[in-house]
Amino acid sequence: MKKVRKNLTIYDSTLRDGAQTRGLAFGLNDKIRIAEILDNLKVDYIEAGWPGANPTDDEFFKKIPKMSNSKIVAFGMTRKYGKNCHNDPGLNAVLNSGVSTACIVGKAWDFHVKKALGVSNKINLDMIGDSIYYSSKRMDEIIFDAEHFFDGYKSNPKYTLKVIQIAYQAGAKYIVLCDTNGGTLPFELKNIISDVQNFVPSENIGVHFHNDSDLATANSLEAIRLGVGQVQGTFNGLGERCGNVNLVNVIANICLKMGIKIEIRKNLKQLTNSSKMIDEILNRTPSRNLPFVGSAAFAHKGGLHISAVEKDPKSYEHIDPKLVGNERTLVVSNQSGKSNIISQLKSLKIKFNKDSKDLTNFVKLAKHQEYLGFAYDGAEASFELLALRKFKKLKEFYVLNSFKVSDEKRISSNGVYLTLSEARIKLTVKNKKFYSAAEGNGPIHALDNALRQALTKSYPKIKKLNLLDYKVRILTPREGTDAQVRVRIESTNGIFKWSTIGVSKNVIDASFLALNDSFTYHLLKTS
């Protein structure tokens, strides 16, 4: 019988903590799209950023997407020394962010109080108490992140426990014990959390573990076993240094191993796709070896092993991969991946015969495309068009005859370098030939403009198509400038959004393939 824990909440900080990942930069559209994915999964809290800290976060809070299941959280810090809550611009930027939940971080380690803040322990307590009390009167929920809690407890437990006691009494709903440098070991948790429970009820205690000791998942699960009410982390373990706890692992273990019912369990089959989509949005190569959701998580190789897995998969796999939306892969079998493709075809309501050559050939085609770099997890529109072209003999809205793109850089009369891009395109539309030439601020912009000009007369609805995002990823970096590249384009027609991809050794060609799919998909859905 499942153990019901309605008071156990999942708090995702991918959009803030995850943005601290080395080499990663979140754009506004990235944050919006990821927030929508997390909301669809029914994550309880989504920490969206730090209002006032940077233009991207400020813009996000001005354009917060509508949430159906999740609470958007604004992150910030306690008032600064020498300021009161009313005139501290940082604190008030959080409170005026337009959301009803805020996470306020404060120092819980006396070493940092002295060295980082340069104030007395008493002043730090006042700053925390004032800030939480002031904030709790202006927002529905306040969460207090006790920074470096575990280091503080080991150094001066009396003071660190006083910090969380002050924050809780001042009105914080959750007191989050942060393992900020990732150095805590699982066997240390029982005594520490037991001490905390003397001051804060279990359901109001949260934990946030970093993965510097490769123990973030183990620590999180042990804290849950000890009764805490909230777990914070990021998807795919994003974050500075070694990252935060990977919420994918926590969620899967909670639901499938610990027998705890949480709201997100209803969408557990979306975990794999959500993990891959978040990586794709951020232009990252998904790790094959991620537990539960990696492409190698249920991959089996070797003759005797393969035979045994086919006869009794349960003896070689700790869970059924379908439970988290993943699939078993038999490396030596040409059938690997077939079940996932069949599932996608069914979801698109595309009819096919399981025993037909058409299906076999399509599986081979899809797998060959993936081998080339066509990652359809983050570009479902391109996959749907690939399937429609195979099974329904999709009638194309236009046919490309040729295109030519040129770039010019020249110095102006006042000594400033100017760049100009021009695209020329020839199409056949409804048995008529069309020619168009257009300029743009770059080759892709020019190509997009030329394509629109050639199609608008025949298809006026093209005017409603807008491109939201454009990303390029080098797939074969060792080949240098001769590398294979993948272009991903996100588009909208004002009603819904979709993504398409193109792959080529020529970035302009890859861009056209993605543009072509985007235009075709728009026309298909609006015809």
Q: Which residue type does 452 have?
A: R
Instruction: Tell me the pairing of strands 260-261 and 3-4.
Output: parallel
Q: Is 48 helix (H, G, I), strand (E, B) or coil?
A: strand
Torsion sign over Cα 92, 93, 97, 101: negative
What is the pLDDT tens value at each position of the chain, 527 positions in all? 345 456 799 999 999 999 999 999 999 999 999 999 999 999 999 999 999 999 999 999 999 999 999 999 999 999 999 999 999 999 999 999 999 999 999 999 999 999 999 999 999 999 999 999 999 999 999 999 999 999 999 999 999 999 999 999 999 999 999 999 999 999 999 999 999 999 999 999 999 999 999 999 999 999 999 999 999 999 999 999 999 999 999 999 999 999 898 999 999 999 999 999 999 999 998 898 999 999 889 887 655 555 666 677 777 899 999 999 998 876 544 455 677 788 788 889 998 888 888 899 998 898 899 889 998 877 889 999 999 999 988 999 999 999 999 999 989 889 899 899 999 999 999 999 999 999 999 999 999 999 999 999 999 999 999 999 999 999 998 898 899 999 999 999 999 899 999 999 999 999 999 999 999 999 999 98
Predicted confidence at residue 314, as pLDDT, reads 75
How many Cβ atoms from other residues are within 10 Å of residue 350's Cβ? Answer: 15
Predicted confidence at residue 300, as pLDDT, reads 77
- Chain length of the chain: 527
Q: How far apart are CA 330 and CA 352, in angstroms?
A: 24
**Percentages (nearest 5) of helix, strand, coil residues in the chain:** 45, 20, 35
> Would you state the structure tokens that stand for residue 227, as one six-digit string?
């009764």
Q: What is the DSSP string of 232-294?
A: EEBGGG-SSTT-B-BHHHHHHHHHHTS-EE-GGGGGGGGHHHHHHHHHHHTT-PPPTT-TTTS
Among the listed residues 328, 346, 339, the one whose alpha carbon sits nearest the alpha carbon of residue 384: 346
Predicted confidence at residue 344, as pLDDT, reads 82
Q: How far apart are CA 370 and CA 272, in angstroms?
A: 17
Q: What is the DSSP letter of 114?
A: I
Q: How far is CA 449 from the centre of its chain?
A: 31
Q: Are 215 and 189 in contact (CB under 8 A)?
A: no
Q: Are 210 and 150 in contact (CB under 8 A)?
A: no
Q: What is the DSSP string of 455-498?
A: HHTT-GGGGG-EEEEEEEEES-GGGGGG--EEEEEEEE-SS-EE
Spatial neighbors of 344 by CB under 8 A, at least 6 apart, are: 376, 383, 387
Instruction: Tell me the pairing of strands 230-233 and 205-209.
Output: parallel
Q: Is 96 helix (H, G, I), strand (E, B) or coil?
A: coil
Cite the DSSP H helix spans in 6-156.
28-41, 55-62, 89-95, 110-112, 121-136, 149-155
Residue with structure tokens 């912009």?
445
Give the largest CA-CA distance in the chain.
82
Predicted confidence at residue 2, as pLDDT, reads 44
How many Cβ atoms from other residues are within 10 Å of residue 416's Cβ? Answer: 7
Determine phi and psi for 286, rounding to 5 degrees.
-60, 140
